[in-house]
Amino acid sequence: MLDFTSDLAGDALSPSRASDAAPADDRALLDAYSNAVIDVTERVGPAVVRVETGPKAGATAGSRGGLGSGIVISPDGLVLTNSHVVGSSKSIRLRDVEGVVTDAQVLGVDPDTDLALLRANHARDLRYAALGNSKSLRRGQLVVAIGNPLGFESTVTAGVVSALGRSIRSVSGRMIEDVIQTDAALNPGNSGGALVSSAAEVIGINTAIIQGAQGICFAVASNTAQFVLSEIIRHGYVRRAYIGVSGQTAPVPRRHALLAGVENKMGALLMQIEQDGPAARAGLLPGDVVIRLDGVDINGVDDLIRVLDRDRIGRTIAMDVLRLGRLRGIDIHPVERKPAARQAG
């Protein structure tokens, strides 16, 4: 009897034959990945411009400007970038991938989301990119970052969506919600560039890097950008409610929570009340702890800021506060906050 067992086992486990098959599979996978990145780059890359800013307003003689990136989102020259890229610069120029330079003007800024909207002067029929739906993203999804890091134009890096729904603090001190975390490498000068899905849709605007942390980068979600864009086009700024207080997040003593019948462990402690502001007129006092506003639980000052959106401007809404351990109900009438001024980046 002939025994083929050793021959079959040898064939199955032969390292030479296994390695012969592997490169073909690796090449196929590599080609698919490369083709996806190349396709995205060719379709969206021409819509990413370099943003060159002049000296900041009030800067000393000899001061230099800065560099960043921007995304053309309409053929008539609307460009999204970061608020901190624009800052309070006296002059702004845009340079496209072909080297064509045009001046630009600021239509509006929103430091609370670190976004700004520019319009390119004397530019028409530009290559532009579409804003996608960031709510459709999934962790692990392929994304491509396109920008001008360190002044090098049209640089492309690829990675995956590391996390969704992050929150980071903006230059104004407010929290930017629904931020996308990615491991696509970003460097100074990439701010304002595009974070693009494999469908060649802009699903984020690159905004920040955590210094000292490798491979952790952030982008403002495209849905947030859509909201800011529409508000700036309609009003010139983003409308938000205002009640005239300053405060901080503070713990709610357990005995006060039990006495008041609430479950909040934290609340927004009011430190200062603006004279003749909505809070002062409503009877709020320093030391009050806000635990609910318009039916929404408030577990800190960031929650309070988040709830004071445009939908609550001009409405009388209910606020629950703890004052000396006792629950009080107060009616307050938020007004529209003054437009954010352009700030130095």
Residues classed as catalytic:
84, 114, 191
Distance CA 187, CA 222 (A): 20
Cβ count within 10 A of residue 326? 10
Cβ-count burial of 234 within 10 angstroms (0-12 exposed, 13-18 middle, 19+ buried)? exposed
Q: Encoding tokens for residue 1?
A: 């009897």
Distance CA 279, CA 58 (A): 35
283 Ramachandran zone, left/alpha/beta (phi>0; psi -120 to 50): left
Instruction: Identify which of 70, 71, 111, 69 has the alpha carbon closest to the alpha carbon of residue 88.
Output: 111
Q: Encoding tokens for residue 84?
A: 């901190």
Phi/psi for 330 (5° steps) reads: -130, 140
Strands (E), 153-264: 155-169, 175-182, 194-197, 202-209, 217-221, 241-242, 245-251
Cβ-count burial of 102 within 10 angstroms (0-12 exposed, 13-18 middle, 19+ buried)? middle
